Each structure stands twice: as structure tokens, then as C-alpha cells.
Chain A
């Protein structure tokens, strides 16, 4: 399983790429593997305000419905418009084509709650 080193991770299996005050969010390789074939993705709209820990979207596989949680608070500044038409990108390319949204951070302290790759790897092994 592939967990890029430059990313941060949450206990809900989202990944976070931090670039200054904008973070890109998706779900990890572990999450997509657990879900199986993803057939539907529901995302917020640009301009929506998200609160850390609250649901911002839904990922559905053939068999299951899963919420996706905001790893940080802030305003949605971009959403992956391709994803609703190509939800399988989450399976095939969870860290590139499968990205979901970009958030402009409202509180950088939210980042302190995230795991680095080694902590996440350990977390997945225990899960």
C-alpha cells in the first residue's frame, strides 16, 4: 500500500497536502482499497465553509456509503469537477487524479492534529 511521505493523514483515512495556507484533500490508498469499486462521489461547492471533523462529502462504492470528514476548517476554494463523472479515479489514483477539494485554512493549528506518514502507517496496521 502506498502512503506518500509528503502528505499528512487523518484517523478517518483522508490525506492532506499542505501548500502555504491551502490544503488539498483526498482519501488514502487504504481507504479506497477498503471501500472497493467507487461509483459515486459527492462534493461540496466552492465557497462552502467547512468545520474540522464535520462531513464534507460522500464516497460510495457498489456496496457501501462512506462520509468524508474535513481534516481542517476553512473555505472550499476548489473542487475536483472531474470526479463525479470519473469516481473510479479515487481507486486508480487516490493521490493525484482522485483529489477531492482544496480548502483555504482558517486555523493553521488544525494541522497539528494530523498524522505524519509513519504515524499513519502504524495506525493502519493497528486498524
Chain B
């Protein structure tokens, strides 16, 4: 099993560890709901060192990434981050990722842990089919530790450890700076919907960065947060999770990710399939549902309209903030666009649900 550089820390803190796609990761420390609320009200610290980092550099880096990813790199500046995706020719998703522009010819891709090797192999193979040969593709995943510091007081905590003026780092921007004496990529990004930072440092410095953040953050309510709350936090904000809302069989334009799919930017992998699908009409659409009575929707549960199955839940949970069951579901477009009543099949019962605007928690 893979271990992050912080594995020992989690064990010392008494975290409950689980096998997460081949990684030995903390699912919870004090409890999912308490951790969730800490991030919404004060701050939380996550070990996300399992995420992969792939460097793409060289004269052809821009052209290659513009072809390999769905979003448009042309307006990006140095120090900017972009949410984007890699797709297959079929339009299905290889992975979603954040792309960091260090320079016009140097980028870092932050990819999902369990997809990291697949993504790297995919990019290597794709490269062979193009003329963009003048570039370097390096899998740097083992070299980095990554911590996510998220919550309303995240900036106050981080400011105690760095001379970098954090007010100059806008949302989806990053700088390289020193945090507690550790060289760090300070990125104002996250997966919780709160203000916060994703911090990348050398694997060997990961424990020091964690311990220093916990030390200065404690008096401001900083708590360690496991993968359980990471999932409920992202779902309340309706952020897609690979393997659920997006898969090799689901196009980003079906999963409300049209905003990262720039069909007019020129050719990219998957574009033809998406254009064709748009022309004939997308058969499915991702919608947000809340349970009006009681019950917890879960991944895979059927969505029903007048007793007929019209789709399924891609992610569902009890929302700790709303104290209601919430779900993202992929259903037939015609039904999604109608106002016909919907139910979710939970075991032997049909539970009425309401359509909601995204995100669940504003």
C-alpha cells in the first residue's frame, strides 16, 4: 500500500485509516461531522499528498496541453491555476485536474491519486501521436507532499508562517514562497468551497509544514480533516469527483463542466465526439436533488419519475450543513428539463426529492 510522507502523523493522531485507491489514508480523526463543520466555520488541514503531480515543460508544452486538455490555456498568465480535464477521443474523461502555469513553457498538472499513473501513460502515448515532440513529461508525484489548508480563517493561520503577502494571491492564483522556512507552492485553491490554500512542498518537508501549521492554527480552531469530510464538503458545493460525476463513460458537458470545455478554442482530444453529441442532443444531464423527508441517497441508487427509472445517483450523502440528504444524479435530459416529480429508490422505498440549484450550500 502507498503511504504519504505524513502517514506516521495520522497514526499518532489516532486517525481511522482506510485503503483509498491503494493509498493508506485517514478517513476521519474526531468524526466526519465535527471535521466538516470545522472547515465551514474555522479551518481544517488535509493531507492530500496522494494527489499526483506531472510536469510538462519545453517549447511545445503550451501546444501539447492545449491539445490534450479541454479548457483554454491561451489567456492564462504565469502564476495562474486552471481547472480542466483530459478526455478520450470518445469525449469520456481520463481525469480532471488543476493546471499550474509557471511559465509559457512550464506547467504542473495536479491529478487524482488513483489516476496518476494512468494519466501519465495517457499523456506519453498521446504525445507520440502528435508533432509536439519538443517537450519533457515528468511524473513528479513522489517528490511532493501536498497539504490543503481550508476554511474562513485559513489565511490568518498561513499568514503567521510566511512573509508572503497573501492578499496578493487571488483565487486560482499561486506564488512560490517560504512557509515556516519550507519552500512551498502557495496556491489559493481547494475542494471545499471555502477560502483556503493548497500547499506543495518537498516530500521530506511535509511533516514539518503540517506540524507548524497545526501549532500556529490550534488557537484559531484548526483541525485535521480526513477523506470522509473532504467528500461531504465537496459534495455540498457540487464539485465533481472522478469515478462518480465524471468517468470514461461520461462527457464533461454532461456533468455540468461545459465551463471547462472550450469547444471553440480549436482542436483538442474529445472535441469531435462532444460536438457530435451536442448536435444530436445530450441524452443525460447532471442535476442536484435534495431529500424532502428523511433518507440518505447513495451512489448508484435509481432516480425514478412516475415509477420509471430515469437515471441514477452519482454521489449522495447526508449534508452536515443542511442536515438533509443531498444527491447529484445523472438523468435523462428531457426529464431533467421538465418539472415532473422525482423520487430516489432507497432500498424498498421511493423517497420524494426536490430539484435544487447548484451548489447545495451557497
- A: which residues have CB within 8 A of B? 36-37, 39-40, 58, 60-63, 65, 84
Closest B residue to A61 by CB, please name it.
B32
Q: Is the CB of B347 within 8 A of A58?
A: yes
CA distance A53 to B159 in the complex (A): 57
CA distance A62 to B325 in the complex (A): 10
Supposing A60-B318, A62-B32, A63-B27 touch, asked if A36 and B296 sit within 8 A by C-beta, the answer is no
Note all chain B residues with C-beta closer than 8 A to A40.
294-296, 318
Q: Is B228 located at the chain interface by the 8 A CB criterion?
A: yes
What's the least CB distance linking A54 to chain B, in Å?
14
Supposing A60-B318, A62-B318 touch, asked if A37 and B33 sit within 8 A by C-beta, the answer is yes
Size of the B side of the interface (Cβ < 8 Å), in residues, is 18
CA distance A39 to B320 in the complex (A): 9
CA distance A60 to B347 in the complex (A): 13
CA distance A86 to B40 in the complex (A): 23
CB-based A-B contact count at 8 angstroms: 35
Q: Is the CB of B294 within 8 A of A37?
A: no
Q: Is the CB of B32 within 8 A of A63?
A: yes
Most buried by A among B16, B31, B32, B318: B318
Q: Is B28 located at the chain interface by the 8 A CB criterion?
A: yes
Q: Is B317 located at the chain interface by the 8 A CB criterion?
A: yes
Q: Is B232 located at the chain interface by the 8 A CB criterion?
A: yes
What's the least CB distance linking B270 to chain A, in Å?
33
What's the least CB distance linking A98 to chain B, in Å?
16
Note all chain A residues with C-beta closer than 8 A to B28.
36
Chain A facing B: main interface SS: strand
Note all chain B residues with C-beta closer than 8 A to A84.
294
B182-238 residues with Cβ-Cβ distance < 8 A to A are 228, 231-232
Supposing A62-B318, A62-B320, A63-B228 touch, asked if A39 and B296 sit within 8 A by C-beta, the answer is yes
CA distance A62 to B27 in the complex (A): 12
Contact with A along B247-261 (1 / 0, CB 8 A): 000000000000000
Contact with A along B321-335 (1 / 0, CB 8 A): 000000000000000
CA distance A65 to B16 in the complex (A): 17
What's the least CB distance linking B302 to chain A, in Å?
15
CA distance A127 to B33 in the complex (A): 26
CA distance A71 to B16 in the complex (A): 29
Q: Is the CB of B32 within 8 A of A37?
A: yes
Contact with A along B287-326 (1 / 0, CB 8 A): 0000000111010000000000000000001101000000
CA distance A58 to B298 in the complex (A): 14
Note all chain B residues with C-beta closer than 8 A to A37.
31-34
Closest B residue to A55 by CB, please name it.
B347
Given A37-B31, A62-B232, A62-B318, 12 more A-B residue pairs with CB atoms under 8 Å apart are A37-B32, A37-B34, A39-B296, A40-B294, A40-B295, A60-B296, A60-B318, A62-B228, A63-B32, A63-B228, A63-B317, A84-B294
Most buried by B among A37, A62, A65: A62
Q: Is the CB of A36 within 8 A of B318?
A: no
Closest A residue to B347 by CB, please name it.
A58
CA distance A84 to B295 in the complex (A): 10
Supposing A62-B317, A63-B32 touch, asked if A36 and B294 sit within 8 A by C-beta, the answer is no
Note all chain B residues with C-beta closer than 8 A to A60.
296, 318
What's the least CB distance linking B175 to chain A, in Å?
35
What's the least CB distance linking B109 to chain A, in Å?
29
Q: Is the CB of B31 within 8 A of A36?
A: yes
Q: Is the CB of A65 within 8 A of B32?
A: no
Q: Please, could you name 26 A-B residue pairs with CB atoms under 8 Å apart, sorted by A?
A: A36-B28, A36-B31, A36-B228, A37-B31, A37-B32, A37-B33, A37-B34, A39-B296, A40-B295, A40-B296, A40-B318, A58-B347, A60-B296, A60-B318, A61-B32, A62-B32, A62-B228, A62-B318, A62-B320, A63-B27, A63-B32, A63-B228, A63-B317, A65-B296, A65-B298, A84-B294
